[in-house]
A = this chain, B = another copy of it.
Amino acid sequence: MLYTDWVLIERGFDPNQLHARETVFTIGNGYLGTRGSFEEGYPRAMPVTLIQGVYDAVPVMYTELVNCPDWLPLTITLNGDPRRSERFSLDQGEVLSYERRLDLRYGLLRRSIRWRSPSGKTLDIQFERFASLADPHVLGLRCLITPIDWEGAIAVHASINGYAENQGFNHWDLLTQDQTETNFTEDLQLEPAIWLAARTRQSQIELGMAAKLIIQGVAATFQRESAPGYPTLTTSYQAAIGQTVLVEKIVTVYTSQDIEYPLKAAQSKLVTLPSYPECWEQHKQAWKSAWHTSDVIVEGDIRAQLAIRYSMFQLLISAPWHHQQASIPAKTLSGFGYRGHIFWDTEIFILPLFTFTQPELARRLLTYRYHTLEGARRKARSYGYKGAMYAWESADTGDEVTPRWALPSDPYASDIRIWCRDREIHISADIAYAIWNYWQATGDDLWMRDYGAEIILDTAVFWMSRVEWNSQFERYELREVIGADEYHEHHVNNNAFTNRMTQWHLEKAIAVYAWLEHTFPEQAAALAQKLEITPERRQRWQDIANHLWVPYHSETGFIEQFEGFCNLEDINLQDYEPRTKSMQTILGIDGANKRQVLKQPDVLMLLYLMRQLQEFPYNPESLKTNWDYYAPRTDITYGSSLGPAIHAILAADLGDSQTAYKHFLQAALVDLENTRGNTAEGIHGACAGGAWQAIVFGFAGIRFQDNQPIATPHLPPHWTRLAFKLHWRGKWHPFEITHSASEMNSYHPSPSPEMDEASPTINLRGAIFDLDGVLTDTAEYHYRAWQRLADEEELPFDRQANEALRGISRRESLLKIVGDRTYSAAQLEEMMERKNRYYQEFIESMSPSDLLPGVRSLLTELRQQQIKIAIASASKNARTVIEKLNITELVDAIADGYSVERPKPAPDLFLYAANQLKLPPAACVVFEDATAGIEAALAAGMWSVGLGPVERVGNAHVVLPNFADITWAGILSKLNQHLS
Q: Using a CB–CB distance below 8 Å, which chain A residues touch chain B? A: 41, 43-44, 57, 59-60, 62, 73, 82-87, 118, 157, 159, 161, 163, 165, 168-171, 173, 179-181, 189, 201, 224-230, 232, 378-379, 382, 399-401, 404-405, 407, 409, 411-412, 415
Contacts and interface: CB of A to CB of B under 8 A. Distances in A.
B230 A229 contact: yes
B228 A41 contact: yes
B230 A407 contact: no
B165 A170 contact: yes
Contacts of A168: 169-171, 201
A157 B41 CA distance: 25
A948 B261 CA distance: 52
A399 B411 contact: yes
Given A170-B169, A227-B159, A404 B412 contact: no
A804 to B, nearest CB: 39
How many copies of the shown chain assemble into the complex? 2
Q: Lowest 8 A-B CB distances belong to which pairs?
A: A227-B227, A382-B412, A227-B230, A225-B225, A163-B163, A400-B411, A399-B411, A168-B170
A180 B165 CA distance: 23
Contacts of A227: 159, 225, 227, 230, 232
29 contacts: A41-B228, A57-B409, A59-B59, A59-B407, A60-B60, A60-B407, A62-B409, A82-B179, A85-B179, A86-B181, A118-B181, A157-B226, A163-B170, A163-B229, A168-B171, A168-B201, A225-B225, A225-B232, A227-B232, A229-B230, A379-B411, A379-B412, A382-B412, A399-B411, A399-B412, A400-B412, A401-B411, A404-B415, A405-B405
Contacts of A41: 228
A917 B400 CA distance: 66
Nearest to A381: B412
A43 B409 CA distance: 34
Given A43-B173, A227-B230, 4 more contacts: A157-B226, A168-B171, A228-B230, A230-B230
A415 B405 CA distance: 10
A165 B157 CA distance: 25
A82 B170 contact: no
Contacts of A407: 59-60
A226 B228 CA distance: 12
Contacts of A179: 82, 85, 87
Contacts of A173: 43-44
A400 B413 CA distance: 11
A189 B83 contact: yes
Contacts of A159: 227
Contacts of A201: 168
A385 B480 CA distance: 36
A379 B411 CA distance: 9
A181 B84 CA distance: 7
A937 B165 CA distance: 49
A225 B230 CA distance: 11
A157 B181 CA distance: 17
Contacts of A228: 41, 73, 161, 230
A235 to B, nearest CB: 14
A531 B783 CA distance: 90
A447 B422 CA distance: 56
Contacts of A405: 405, 415
A400 B411 CA distance: 6
A41 B174 CA distance: 12
Contacts of A85: 179, 181
A903 B198 CA distance: 46
A412 B401 CA distance: 9
Contacts of A169: 168-170
A729 B399 CA distance: 64
Contacts of A232: 225, 227
Most buried by B among A169, A227, A228: A227
Given A86-B181, A165-B170, A169-B170, A60 B62 contact: no
Contacts of A409: 57, 62
A57 to B, nearest CB: 6
A82 B379 contact: no
